[in-house]
Every structure is written in structure tokens, then in C-alpha cells.
Chain A
Amino acid sequence: MKLYCLSGHPTLPCNILKFKSTTIMLDCGLDMTSALNFLPLPLVQSPRLCNLPGWSLKDGNAFLDKELKECSGHVFVDSVPEFCLPETELIDLSTVDVILISNYHCMMALPYITEHTGFTGTVYATEPTVQIGRLLMEELVNFIERVPKAQSASLWKNKDIQRLLPSPLKDAVEVSTWRRCYTMQEVNSALSKIQLVGYSQKIELFGVVQVTPLSSGYALGSSNWIIQSHYEKVSYVSGSSLLTTHPQPMDQASLKNSDVLVLTGLTQIPTANPDGMVGEFCSNLALTIRNGGNVLVPCYPSGVIYDLLECLYQYIDSAGLSSVPFYFISPVANSSLEFSQIFAEWLCHNKQSKVYLPEPPFPHAELIQTNKLKHYPSIHGDFSNDFRQPCVVFTGHPSLRFGDVVHFMELWGKSSLNTVIFTEPDFSYLEALAPYQPLAMKCIYCPIDTRLNFIQVSKLLKEVQPLHVVCPEQYTQPPPAQSHRMDLMIDCQPPPMSYRRAEVLALPFKRRYEKIEIMPELADSLVPMEIKPGISLATVSAVLHTKDNKHVLQPPPRPAQPASGKKRKRMSDDVPDCKVLKPLLSGSIPVEQFVQSLEKHGFSDIKVEDTAKGHIVLLQEAETLIQIEEDSTHIICDNDEMLRVRLRDLVLKFLQKF
């Protein structure tokens, strides 16, 4: 059993598990942090961005000034943003049988894999994962396609040139594999390969392996996966949460008794407490509004935004914000808000019982009804008529490189009254802000990451007790910025096996058994004998049938009666190779009883001699010598078949046959 690690990003994993002749891809994460190296794509022509100076080498050589622009000491690529794909060379991706998706953030690379590698398998995901994943992809494609950019920079990627660039461009990895965004057509084609599954649904793969999604508590429809056969069990834990937010709670019990537990998608901000961050978010938001400023919240169109809106719903009246407009701007804003209300079965208990009343599970329905929350597909159109300040705007993309957020950064960046509050943990906020410097607006960083922290992980591992833990190498040492915090790493016994991008791990696994079914007729014919108290043995001779990777033992056919001519020939084809196999013998022969038994069967003149290891029985009349030792018997006689068979049968009476 092997694990091929295709992604180096611990929260956007992409691994391939080879298990019992199946090839299973676990998640399909797309590392979008690469986009931070590019200039933002403004929706409205931005003179500031257009007039950024080109970058030139120290010696004044400016041959790259078309591709690279400089802004406040940072260098950016002036091109369509590109993303870092999972490794595609490590293993032939056309051999992947299935892809298991754990949550909508971990499927963003799906079109690259399913459309361009010869993939012919099936993708499994839950319904909310697919629907919201589709919205995320739709938004991404929309953001990028609606700002067409003629230029596509590639010169800087040349290895010799890249070495000369300032960091972080110099240190960017795998730049040759960076790709531009996919198209909507590719998204649709990729999504059409998905088969919907429900929690705790057992899905058979080729009759050899069973996979089961379990609730992971992190997002709507997010799942961990169990990959198991009858005797082996691998748990894949990716993006799980033990906090009570909107999704169904995490199913921990089913992870027990795993041979291997692959652990990915832990919190990216292990030092921040999500509850505290939400409080900080609300108070900073209120403060800015009270001072007459605007609040910008760069966010994804689904996920934490539902919880933020719910907090604000409870908070705005008490904070005197009820007259402040909240805008949610995204091409998929409406769909996201609508979809959130129809997944009752995937929600936590509290929200479920609201649906039973029947009321919408999320209070943003009321915010919309009372006109406190308005949503628009983009800043163009209706929004420009309704726009009032001061206001709060939720919009994407959290990288600040594309989407409507770029416009608001340009619009509000110059005033210190305004605030941008970062809640998504996926991008470093300092790097995200770099192309907007110098900036007057206030920046607040309240990352809300509800995924497991290290304390929760160690508790979880104690509870589910896997034999081995496999995790990204980042989790086996403290984060580089806090190298003294030995508590910010996975601590378990035996120590976890770690992986990094493009590595292949052999998992410590020894398969010893396989399930086989014994047909009732055969079972009836077995004769068990008790060897030790509670343990019985039975010798089985049967015909093995294997179909669809299921093994069945059937009783051996009765020997066919010889029939005439042609028919007989065919019959003999079907009769199995019925060579009677020599049974194994066990036990030892008690000499005295054996001698008595010999006498009873008419042998006379028996002499017994002791030897170093046992006895020798001499049948002088029959000129025969029988050597009896603890675990062997040797009969030496004349070439008299009758005699030999008689002696054999007498000996066998004292032995057990298997």
C-alpha cells in the first residue's frame, strides 16, 4: 500500500492511495497562493496600477519591465494570475479509479485533473460539496474571465531568470507547472463526473474496497473518508471541526480502529481562537461604522460568511447598526444564500429543528427580507444605484487579486476612516495587501479557521487510536514563525510519518486475510473437531470461485459417472483436478498403546527398544522395523503392499489429520 503525495499545501491536499489494486485520489486541492505574485485585476481601469514602474535588474537591464512591475518595494507579475497545480508527473493520473472529495475548498483543481490527464474514473462527493464547489468555481472563472488581459507573462519563469528575481518570486516553486484558470465548460464537464453520496453511505469499489464519507463538521457537506476492506482500514481526515457552527457535527466514533489515519487540513492559524476572532470582527466593524467609515470584508461566497451574517444578525441591533446597509457582492451571492437554506439534512441539530417548524435555518433570510442585507452579482448594474455609504461590503476574492474586492480596495484604500477586515485564513494578509501599498485604510486581521487545532488533534488521536498517523511534514514541527512553540505540532506515539510534495510513502501495512464466503451446502459438510478448548478445526476441500473480486467456496462436484463418447470428454473437463491431497499429520504415538493395538491386529513377536529420541518397534515375524519419535514415524518393511497399508492405518489411528 502506497501514498503518493501530489500537493505540498497541508490544507489543500491531493494524495493518491494505492490500496488493494485500486487507485484512489484523496482530494484535489488547488494552491491559489501563487496568485499573490501577480498584479490585481481591476474591474475599472486603475491609473495607479497602470502606471506602476517596470522592474529592472540591479545593473539596469530592463528586459523584464513588460512582465514585472514594482510597487512599494515588491515585484509583481503583470499577467493573468496562475495557480499551482498538484503534481501531475509523479504517477500516471489516467490510472486513477476514483477521486474522493472531502469539502468544497479541496476540489478546486478538479477540472485540471479530470479534463487534461486522461482520467476516466468517478468522483465522489456530497451534494452540498458539489453545489457550493460549483459556486466557488463559477465565481473564480467569472472573476478572471470578465477582466480579459491580453498579456501572458512567461519570460520570468525561465529558471535562469527566476534566480535573479527578488523574493518571493525567486523562491516560488514549480513555476513551470503554474496554469491559468479553467473555463466554465471544463468546470461543467468535471462536475458531470461526480456521483453524489450521503454520509455513512457504503460505496463498493470493484468489490475490493469500500469507501464511506463521514461528517467532518467543518463545512456544509464536508466529509472525512473511510477506505476499508474486510481486514484493513484507512481513515482520511481532511478539514474537520469540533466547534459548533452551522454544519452537522463531526463523526469521530467511526474513525476508530484504523490501521492508518491520514491527517490533513488542520487549522492554519493555530494560535487564534475563532470565537475571539468573531468578537473582534464585530467590534472593529461597529467602530469603523460609528466613525463614518466603510468596512470591507474579503471573503469566499460560502462558509464562514454564513456564521458572520448570523453573528451580525444578533449584533447589529444592540450595536445600533440597524440602519447600515450590508452588501454581499458576488456573481453567486444569490445562489449561495439560497443554497444554504435547503441543506437541512447537512446542518447541525439546532438549525435542523428550525426547518421542522418550518423556518429557514439561517437568519440571513430575515436580513434579506428586511432589506438589511442586499446581494448583487457585481458592482455594475443595480448596485451602483443602491450604493450608500457608510456600509459593510462582503465580497471576493480573499487574495485581493481579482473580483470586486479589487475595486473597493482602490476606492477606499486612501481613507483612514475605512477598514478592511480579513477573516479568511488562506492568504497572508500582508502579502495580499502588498500591491495596494501605500495604504491609508485600517487593516484588521481576524482569521477565522474552525478546523482542528493541535490540542483537539491530540485528543482525537487518543480517542480513535490509529495504529499509524500520516501527515504533511508541516505538522511534525512547530510553525517557522513560532519555532519555540513545541505544542503546535502533532504529538503521538508512534511518531507520525510525514510527507512532502512529490514524495511516495510506503504505508506500514501487512495484509494477511481476505474475506471468502463458504456456501451453506459446503458448510454443512464440514466436520469440525475440537483441538483445544474453544478452538475447533475442520479440513476444507472446495472449489474456489472468484467473480467481481468476490471469492466463494463451493462444494466439490461429485465425481461424474463415465458416460459415452463425446459427452464423457466434456464431463471430464468440468471435474476438478481431484488429486487427493496428502493430509498433514499431527500428534505423537504412545508406544504402549500402539503395541497393544498391533497385538490386537494379529502381529506377534513384538520387541520394543528405546533409542535416544524415541522407540523402535520390531516386528520380527514380518521383518519390519518401525521407528517412533516425537514427531515422526518411519516404517521400514518388505515390498508387501498389504502389510504396508495395514501398518499405515494402525499408525494413522493415533494421529490427527488436517
Chain B
Amino acid sequence: MPEIRVTPLGAGQDVGRSCILVSIAGKNVMLDCGMHMGFNDDRRFPDFSYITQNGRLTDFLDCVIISHFHLDHCGALPYFSEMVGYDGPIYMTHPTQAICPILLEDYRKIAVDKKGEANFFTSQMIKDCMKKVVAVHLHQTVQVDDELEIKAYYAGHVLGAAMFQIKVGSESVVYTGDYNMTPDRHLGAAWIDKCRPNLLITESTYATTIRDSKRCRERDFLKKVHETVERGGKVLIPVFALGRAQELCILLETFWERMNLKVPIYFSTGLTEKANHYYKLFITWTNQKIRKTFVQRNMFEFKHIKAFDRAFADNPGPMVVFATPGMLHAGQSLQIFRKWAGNEKNMGTVGHKILSGQRKLEMEGRQVLEVKMQVEYMSFSAHADAKGIMQLVGQAEPESVLLVHGEAKKMGFLRQKIEQELRVSCYMPANGETVTLPTSPSIPVGISLGLLKREMAQGLLPEAKKPRLLHGTLIMKDSNFRLVSSEQALKELGLAEHQLRFTCRVHLQDTRKEQEMALRVYSHLKRLLPTLRTQVPRCCWCPGPTRMRNWGASLPHCSRRVSPRPLSGHTTHPGLWLCLATVPTRTWALTSAL
């Protein structure tokens, strides 16, 4: 029995380290290859030894697909391809291919240069890894090999994020990666056609949240930022360089313009500046409005937002700073945080320790930092909420759904909801746990046009609604299957048709003349079988003068149902071919096949 098997190596009932193995019709595909933010040991990368203990990964995997450039989806890629060893194709979209190596390099720098880790992947490995990447267009059908094809759909979430359909024959799986079902200020909404996959693997970050309207969140954010700068405070917004940063920049930029504010907004240098450039060049991946107006005004050329210099942090007076990284665990955002945390006038949006209410933090060198600043947590991350997930499931109409990239408890809730409301079976395997789905693919064969047309033409007759039986012969040669009419099959294989006929002698006692007798039998049959065409043509080869034809007849006086085929072979109507011949003993012979 054919089946689809799915095993998450990461992101099974968890957020981070996305890595899902899919086996479909004998093909093995790895979806995403991410790292886990929460770990610094072996657990930060997926356990690739699960795939194969000692064989080469290339022999086992047909391809790897990366959904978008976030490190929890691509962070383990150089480790996987260069250190574990994989030489097959890696598919991602163009923007992902452009931005992914930069984030990997950034990640490597923090790990190696700042934390001093040894045995980490090198810059050269990132380069070598990216050489294995094949870029895909949206909606392009990429033929990985003769049977396996993949297709990317727009996913929103971040620049270049894509959902992927993996298809072999009539079996298919859709993997969403991270996606967003509502368009925002710079990206569009995820979209997929009604592709009816066997399985939809969807993220479920916000499985239980129906987020309050986007507008409310934005108003809230702007109000808080505005209040802080009004009273002379500084606002620190830790962000990841790419993704939400651009959304918030556009939000603040338009607000500053509308309110005519003069308070400086800074953007931490390097990566983020570069990031905006990517957005300008990949403008076709942003939303409709930005695409339409970019000639007049490129939304990513900011008027109020300037590059940040380290010295600015000590400047007096209010300011807003976007700094990386977003989790405030290292780098510039942490430095600025240390400087500003002591002042309750300031505001920041930060990492989970502070978020959990902890007000005293132990820093490196046992310094204790007391947090007096206001801390606000605001989620602007562009994931689909429960409503969005349900909407996507409705769009794609899968046979079953599998949840990844979320917390187990929330997944459980969503699973129930999907199973109850959409009546679709739903799975949520943990890491290392395999879900097996039996499939029943139909078998494509070629039907001869003659046979099909004959059948379709009969479908046009009255009673077309009534299902009819199609008869034919399936010729199987290697993997080439063809369905043809039985006559054609015989002809093609060079087999002669074998005619089988019967002649029965029926004795009738009558004294009338032959001609008269024949007419009587004829009219008798015609009366008995009024719907049938009955003919009395001249018989060319029987000893007698006449023969009668009757199509599809059931002969009452034979007390059996006969529907043999005619001897002459030029027509395929089921029927009885009667030959009534008068012989000297007044015996009538009924000739028929079978």
C-alpha cells in the first residue's frame, strides 16, 4: 500500500529548529533545516543521524527545500550540507537565496567571535553551501527529477517566504513554512490554489490566538512610543534585521510624517541598511500598493530614519532606536539596553527573561543590572492566527493536516478545531515521531481516442445520466499502460480473432411455401421483438434464399438469452445474427456466435 511518511526532526510540537522529513511515493524530501534559539549545545541543530547512520545523506535525500530566511528555518544548513555532508539540490526562492547567507554569516559571527565556539561552520562553508542552492520562481514547476516536482506559493511572513507543494504523480504534500494570511504594510497575504494535497503541513505558532485587529496593535504601539518620546524618554526596539523591522519602520515613518515629529529615529547600522536595499531590489515580492507606487516613491527609502552610530546612545533627549538582534541576547541591542535600562523614562521591547517580570538581571562578570525602564512586549510577527490557518486549510482542501512549529498544548486545541469544523484528520507528531498516511493513488493510463469518443458519444444519448459500462483491454508493456478496444488490442498484438459460431436445427412442421414461411417467421419475430431491427436480406452464402438479422435479440422460442456478435465482424453491435435457411427437410437453422 503506498503511503506518505512524515517525521519532524525539529519543530514537532515545538517552535524552532524546523526540519521535517517527508517520504512520498519513494521520494525523500527534507523541509527546512533550522537551528534552535533556545539551545547552545547539540540540540540547537536537528539530529541528522536519524536520516542515515553511516550512508551519505545525498543518497538518501532527493532534495532539500528552505521556506524562508529566518534562522530557525535555515540556520543549520551549512552544518548539514558541509559538515554532515549533502551534495544534492537545495531549493529556495531568489530573495531567500540572497539574504540567507548574510544571516548565516551573522549567526556564525555571534557564535564564533562573540561566544568563542569551536567546531562551528566557517564562512567558506556558507559559500560552498549556497553553491548547492537552486533558486525557484513563484508558481514555477521545478522538476527535481522525472517524477518529483515542487512548486512555490507566496507566503507573506517575510520577504521571499514561500509555501511549497511537493508532488509525485497524483500524490502531493504542501508545506507552508511560516505564513501570514493578512496583508500588512509591506507584504501581501499568503495564497494557495485549491490543489487538494494528500497532506498539508502547516505551522501553528498562533494556534489558539485570534489576534485583535492589526490596527489596534499598531495604534497601541504608536501611542506608547509617542508617549515615551513626548516625556523625553528613549525607545529601544530590538528587532531582527529583516522582516518585522521594515514593517515597523514604515509604520513609524508614516506616523512621524503625519504627526510632524522631529525626534530622531535610528536604525542600527550594517545589516539593516543592507536589508532595506534588498527590499528595494525585490520589490516584486512586496504588497500590491508598494509595487504600484515604487516608481514615484520607494517605501524603503526612509526620510526620518537614519543610520545609528554607537555614540548616539549617550546623546541627551528622546530618540527611537531599532537595534539588532531581536531577542536582546547579544550585540548592539544588548549594549544599548544596558545603557538605558536604568532609567524609568525609557521604554524597550525585549527578551523573555525581562518579559517574565524579572527586574534584576545577572550579566557577564556577575554584574547585576536593575531594570527600571518600562518593558512592553508587542508581537508583530507575521504568522497566521487560528482563523488564518483554518482559512488556508479551506483554500487548499487537503485530505489531512499535520501541525508543526507550535506549542503542543495549543496544537491540541487547533487539532480539535480542525477535526471538528473542517472534518479533516489532523496530526501533531513530536520530534522523531513518524506519521504514516496510506494513500491510494489512481493509475494514469492512455485510452485510445476511438474508444473514449465512442463511449462519450453514448453518454450524449438519452439516459445519459445513467452510468454505463466501458469495456476494453488494458495493454501493459513495461511502464506504458494503454486502454484500447478489445479488437484493437488483438490487432496490435498480431492475434487473430477466433470466431465461434453455432448452428442449431429447429424443426418446424408447416406446409406453406418457403417464401411465405420465411415472411411469417420474420413478422413473428418482429412482433415479439418490436424494438429491434429485423432484416430479411438476401442471403449470399446460406443455402436458402433469405436471412434475417436481429440485433441484441432475445429469442423466446430458444428460451435463452443470446446476445452474440455478428459473424461479419464489421460492426460491433452486440446482437444475434440469425440465418434462416430452408433446407429440403424444412429445417430452419439458427446460426449465431456462441
Instruction: Specify whether A and B are partners.
Output: yes
Task: Determine how close the nearest CB of chain B comes to the CB of A343; give it in whole angstroms.
Answer: 7
Q: Which of A340-376 contact B (CB under 8 A)?
A: 341-345, 352, 355-356, 358, 360-361
Do B564 and A540 have beta carbons less than 8 Å apart? no
Asked if residues B139 and A197 are in contact (CB atoms below 8 Å), the reply is yes
**In the complex the two chains form, is A631's CB within 8 Å of B497's CB?**
yes
Bound complex: CA A644 to CA B94 (Å) = 76
Is A544 an interface position by the 8 A CB rule? yes
Q: Does A553 contact B (CB under 8 A)?
A: yes
A377 to B429, alpha carbons, bound, how many Å?
Answer: 60
A338-B295, A538-B474 as given contacts; A635 in contact with B281, CB under 8 Å: no
B515 at the interface (CB under 8 A from A): no
**Distance of A636 Cα from B505 Cα, bound (Å):** 8
In the complex, what residues of A have CB within 8 A of residue B368's CB? none
- Contact A658 B476, beta carbon cutoff 8 Å: no
Taking CB atoms, residues of chain A closer than 8 Å to B495 are 531, 586-587, 656
Q: Say yes or no: A342-B500 contact (C-beta < 8 A), given A514-B447, A658-B473.
A: no
Identify the interface centre among A534, A576, A582: most chain B CB within 10 Å of its CB. Answer: A582
Residues of A within 8 A of B487 (CB): 584
| Smallest CB separation, A20 vs chain B (Å) | 10
A583 within 8 A of B: yes
Q: Is there contact, CB below 8 Å, between A356 and B98? A: yes
| Cα–Cα, bound, A220→B490 (Å) | 54
A577 is an interface residue with CB less than 8 A from chain B: yes
**Distance of A201 Cα from B142 Cα, bound (Å):** 9
**How far in angstroms is the closest Cβ of chain A from B441?**
7
B443 contact from A518, A557, A639, Cβ within 8 A: A518
Tell me which residues from 269 to 290 in chain B have a Cβ below 8 Å from any Cβ of chain A.
274, 277-278, 280-284
Q: Which of A230, A345, A633, A634 has the most CB of B within 10 A?
A: A345
Known contacts A538-B476, A542-B470, A543-B467; is-contact A516 B452 (Cβ 8 Å): yes
B446→A639 contact, CB < 8 A: no
Question: Digit string of B505-517 for contact with A (CB within 8 Å is 1, else 0)?
Answer: 1100000000000
- Is the beta-carbon distance between B449 and A513 smaller than 8 angstroms? yes
A546 within 8 A of B: yes
Q: Is residue A430 within 8 Å, beta carbon to beta carbon, of the partner chain?
A: no
B5 interface contact, C-beta 8 A: no
For residue B501, CB closer than 8 A to chain A, the reply is yes
B594 touches A (CB below 8 Å): yes
- Asked whether A22 is an interface residue with its Cβ less than 8 Å from the other chain, the reply is no
Interface string of B564-586 (1 = CB under 8 A from A): 11000000001000000000000
Chain B 435-452 interface residues, beta-carbon cutoff 8 Å to A: 440-449, 452
Interface string of B486-497 (1 = CB under 8 A from A): 110110010111
Chain B residue contacts of A655, Cβ below 8 A? 498, 500
Residue of A511, A537, A636 near B476 (CB, 8 A) is: A537
Cβ of B141 under 8 Å from chain A: yes
Q: Which B residues between 455 and 491 are near A, CB-CB below 8 angstroms?
A: 455-456, 459, 466-478, 482-483, 486-487, 489-490
Question: Which residues from chain A contact B294 at a C-beta distance below 8 Å?
Answer: 338, 342
Contact B473 A540 (CB under 8 A): yes
Q: Are A635 and B446 in contact (CB under 8 A)?
A: no
Total cross-chain contacts (CB, 8 A): 252
A172 close to chain B: CB less than 8 A: no
Across the interface, which residues of B come within 8 angstroms of A513, CB to CB?
A: 446-449, 482
Residue of A nearest to B565 (CB): A582
User: Inside 8 A of B283's CB, which chain A residues have their CB?
Assistant: 342
Interface check B58, CB cutoff 8 A: no
Complexed CA–CA distance, A632 and B280 (Å) = 80
Chain B at the A interface: mostly helix, strand, loop or mixed? mixed
B469 touches A543 (CB 8 A): yes
Q: How far is the CB of B165 from chain A (nearest CB, A)?
A: 11
Q: A341-B281, A586-B498 are in contact. Are A577 and B466 (CB under 8 A)?
A: yes
Q: Of B139, B448, B469, B489, which is within 8 A of A542 by CB?
A: B469
Shortest distance from the beta carbon of B174 to any chain A beta carbon, whole Å: 16
* A540-B470 in contact (CB<8A): yes
Among A163-171, A435-443, A520-528, the stretch that binds chain B is A520-528
A179 at the interface (CB under 8 A from B): no
Q: Are A519 and B500 in contact (CB under 8 A)?
A: no
Chain A residues within an 8 Å CB radius of B489: 537, 658
* Complex contacts, B448 vs chain A, CB 8 Å: 512-513
Report B224 CB to chain A, min CB distance, Å: 33
A395 nearest CB across to chain B (Å): 19
Instruction: Please name all residues of chain B whose beta carbon is closer than 8 Å to the beta carbon of A576 when the two chains form the complex.
Output: 466-469
Question: Which of A201, A341, A516, A556 makes the CB contact (< 8 A) with B140?
Answer: A201
Contact A639 B466 (CB under 8 A): no
Residue of B nearest to A201 (CB): B139
Residues of B within 8 A of A546 (CB): 456, 459
Given the interface pairs A360-B281, A513-B447, the reply to whether A200 lies near B501 with Cβ below 8 Å is no
The answer, yes or no, to whether A581 is at the interface (CB within 8 Å) is yes
B138 touches A (CB below 8 Å): yes
Indicate if the CB atoms of A520 and B442 lie closer than 8 Å.
yes
Is A444 in the interface zone, CB < 8 Å from B?
A: no
A573 in contact (CB, < 8 A): yes
- Whether A339 and B137, one on each chain, are in contact in the complex, defined by CB atoms closer than 8 angstroms, is no
- Minimal Cβ-Cβ distance residue in B for A231: B446
B449 near A514 with CB under 8 A, answer yes
Within 8 A of A (CB), among B127-145: 135, 137-142
Q: In this assembly, does A588 line the interface, its C-beta being within 8 Å of a C-beta of chain B?
A: yes
With A516-B444, A631-B498: A541-B470 Cβ-Cβ less than 8 Å: yes
The answer to whether A658 and B468 touch (CB under 8 A), given A537-B475, A581-B574, is no
Q: Is the CB of A516 within 8 A of B490?
A: no
Q: Which chain B residues border A551 with CB–CB below 8 Å?
A: 447, 452
Give the residue of B135, B444, B483 whose beta carbon is less than 8 angstroms from that of A540: B483
Q: Is A592 an interface residue (CB 8 A)?
A: no
Contact of B502 among A515, A580, A636 (CB under 8 A): A636
Q: Is the CB of B483 within 8 A of A582?
A: no
B280 to chain A: which residues have CB within 8 Å?
342
Q: Once the chains bind, are A534 and B469 in contact (CB under 8 Å)?
A: no
B310 close to chain A: CB less than 8 A: no
Q: Please tell me if the beta carbons of B445 and A639 are within 8 angstroms of each other in the complex.
A: no
Contacts of B564 in A (CB 8 A): 582
Q: Is A463 an interface residue (CB 8 A)?
A: no
Docked complex Cα distance between A588 and B294 (Å)? 80
The answer, among A197, A514, A537, A632, for a CB contact under 8 Å with B500, is A632
Q: Is A94 an interface residue (CB 8 A)?
A: no
Does A638 have its Cβ within 8 Å of any Cβ on chain B? yes
- Whether B477 and A535, one on each chain, are in contact in the complex, defined by CB atoms closer than 8 angstroms, is yes
CA distance A210 to B486 in the complex (A): 30
A199 contacts B499, C-beta separation under 8 Å:
no
B560 within 8 A of A: yes
Contact of B504 among A537, A541, A588, A639 (CB under 8 A): A639
CB < 8 Å neighbour of B498 from A198, A582, A585: A585
Separation of A575 and B131 alpha carbons in the complex (Å):
61
Distance between Cα atoms of A304 and B366 in the complex (Å): 65
Residue in chain A with minimal CB distance to B495:
A586
Q: Provide the residues of chain B in CB contact with A198, threshold 8 Å.
A: 137-140
| CB–CB B499/A632 < 8 A | yes
Within 8 A of B (CB), among A633-647: 633-639, 641, 644
Decide if A514 touches B446 in the complex (CB within 8 Å): yes
A245: chain B residues within 8 A (beta carbon): none
Contact B486 A584 (CB under 8 A): yes
Q: Which residue of A lies closest to B593 (CB)?
A: A582
- Is A539 an interface position by the 8 A CB rule? yes
Q: List 19 A-B contacts (CB under 8 A).
A: A127-B284, A198-B139, A201-B141, A339-B295, A355-B94, A358-B274, A519-B442, A520-B441, A537-B474, A545-B467, A581-B471, A631-B497, A632-B501, A633-B501, A634-B503, A636-B503, A641-B558, A655-B498, A658-B473
Kindly list the 9 A-B residue pairs having the minimum CB-CB distance in the complex, ordered from nearest.
A632-B499, A513-B446, A198-B137, A520-B440, A517-B442, A585-B498, A631-B496, A356-B98, A636-B503
Binding site for B on A (CB under 8 A): 127, 197-202, 212, 230-231, 334-335, 338-339, 341-345, 352, 355-356, 358, 360-361, 511-521, 523, 526, 528, 531-532, 534-546, 551-553, 556-557, 573-574, 576-588, 630-639, 641, 644, 648, 651-652, 655-656, 658
